[in-house]
A and B are shown apart, each in its own frame.
Chain A
Amino acid sequence: MDATKLMVWIDQDLCTGDGICEEIAPDVFEARDDGLWVVKESANHFGTAIVFDAGEGPGHGPEGSRGVARVPDSQIEDVIEAAEECPGECIMIEPYDAQIMADRGV
C-alpha cells in the first residue's frame, strides 16, 4: 500500500465538469455519470478501489467533503497541479487526518 501524507476531496457544487483533474491525475480523479468529477482511491495504490461518488455498495463512498480520498505520495505533484488548474477551484487538499478517514464510513 502506498504511503500518504495528504487527502483530497471535490466540492461538486463548484465542479465545472471540464475534467482537467482526471487528465492530470487519472489515478485520483474520475468522472461521474452526471458530468461532475469525484475522487477515488485506486486499487493499484491502496489495494482496494473506492470511488467517492455517493454510490451504493462496496467500492463506493460519500461525495463532497465527506468523500475524502487518500493521496498516494507518488501522486502529490499531480494532485496539486490538478487543484491549481481546476477552473472551478473545487479541489480541496488537506493534510492526512486519521479521524476524518475513520468518519468516511468505508
Chain B
Amino acid sequence: MIPEAAGTLFQPSAPRVGRVEATKNWSLMEHLRPIERCVLSMSAEGVEIDEIAKRIRKTPDRVESIIAWTDIPRSRPATRRSPSPVESRVLALLADGETHERIGRRFRRSARYIRQVEGLAHYRQGTEILSRNRDGMD
C-alpha cells in the first residue's frame, strides 16, 4: 500500500540513501543496536544496499530505513541484560511446542538462526539471574 498521507523521509519511495561515509566516528555508534552498527559498517565498507539486505535478510527498503533511523537521536544506549522481546517470544513459542523450523518461517529466518536466538536468550537469562543474585548479596 502506498501511503498517500504519509511523509517522505523514511518511506521506501524516497530516494535511496547513499553509502554511509567511511569517515563516521564509530566510537559514537555505541548507542545503536547491533543490527544498526552492522548495516552502517557494511555500508561504509561499500557493500551495496541490495547485498546488505540479502545478508541480513531484510528488504532493501528496510535497510535504507534502518540507515535513516540511525540519525534519530536516542536518549539511552541499546544495552540489554535480560532477554529481548524477540528472544522472549522465541522462548515462549518453543515452550508452546512450536519447532525451530516453524518459528523460523514466521520470522523469515532459518531454524539455525532461531536456535542461536534461543541460545542467546538462555545466556541472557543466566546472566540476569547471576546479576540479581550478586545484587542481592551486596
Contacts and interface: CB of A to CB of B under 8 A. Distances in A.
What's the interface size class on B, roughly?
20 to 34
The majority secondary structure among interface residues of chain B is loop
A13 to B, nearest CB: 5
Contact of A92 (B3, B66, B85, B107): B3
A19 B107 CA distance: 11
Contact of B33 (A16, A20, A66, A84): A84
Interface string B1-37: 1111111011100000000000000000000010110
Interface stretch (B42-50, B56-64, B118-126, B127-135): B56-64
B78 A77 contact: yes
Interface in A54-106: 64-66, 68, 73-74, 76-77, 80-81, 83-85, 87, 89, 92-95, 97, 100, 103
A68 B5 contact: yes
Interface residues of A, number: 34
B18 to A, nearest CB: 19
B85 A20 contact: yes
Contacts of A94: 6-7, 9-11
A84 B36 contact: yes
B81 interface: no
Given A18-B89, A74-B75, A95 B9 contact: yes
Interface of B: 1-7, 9-11, 33, 35-36, 58-59, 61-62, 65-66, 69, 72-76, 78, 84-86, 88-89, 106-108
Interface of A: 5-7, 9, 11, 13, 16, 18-20, 23-24, 64-66, 68, 73-74, 76-77, 80-81, 83-85, 87, 89, 92-95, 97, 100, 103
